Amino acid sequence: TIDWQRTSQTYTGKRICRALRFFCAAIPPDSILQTDLAPGKCWAFPGSQGQVVIRLPAQIWPIAVTAQHISKMLFPDNDLSSSPKDISISVSLCGAFVVGVCFAFPFFLLQNEPHKYFNYIKINILSNWGNKEYTCLYHFKLHGKKAQP
């Protein structure tokens, strides 16, 4: 689930309606936990920097992440300027990477794997590919080991 208190606000500006043409209702941050990668089914937040904190369903030992984005071919006008570019993952800081716009399903091993279990993970979007008004995050997946009871 999303920790709403520690997550950036949802973008509600009208510019995103024009850019995506059919996306005019604000989509909440918990949409990144779903697998719907249809154009416009993203959580948008204002500006190029933001964060989302996820409460994990169990204690997890994080190993890798997948940050999914729609294909450039599916996006109106091939404009992916609102997609995340630089992302860091923290429980304490456990990884940072650049999300390439040419990959639909980028998978990243965490650079500094934290050798313990956590209940929360924080996704820090540090920049996007040039959109100054908003950034869209489509789907995020954490890969790891579940703590044994």
The pair of structure tokens assigned to 99 is: 């999300």
Mean pLDDT of 15-31: 67
pLDDT, one tens digit per residue, over 52-90 is: 999 999 999 888 888 887 776 666 666 788 888 888 888
What pLDDT score was predicted for residue 101? 47
User: 3-state DSSP call for residue 53?
Assistant: strand
What pLDDT score was predicted for residue 117? 86
Kindly give, in sequence order, each residue whose CB lies less than 8 Å from that of residue 77, ignoring residues fewer than 6 positions away.
none
What pLDDT score was predicted for residue 83? 87
Identity of the amino acid at 15: R
What pLDDT score was predicted for residue 87? 87
Query: Distance from CA of residue 136 to its chain's centroid?
Result: 8
Superfamily (CATH H level) for 2-146: Galactose-binding domain-like (2.60.120.260)
Kindly give, in sequence order, each residue whose CB lies less than 8 Å from that of residue 57, ignoring residues fewer than 6 positions away.
none
Of 84-93, 97-106, 135-144, the poorest mean pLDDT is in: 97-106
Residue 38 or 140, more confident: 140
Distance CA 129, CA 14 (A): 20
What pLDDT score was predicted for residue 65? 86
118-128/50-68 β-pairing: antiparallel
User: 3-state DSSP call for residue 137?
Assistant: strand
Domain spans in the chain, listed from the N-terminal domain onward:
2-146
What's the pTM value of the predicted model, to 2 decimals?
0.80
Q: How long is the chain?
A: 149
Residue 87 or 19, more confident: 87
Mean pLDDT of 117-139: 91
What pLDDT score was predicted for residue 103? 46
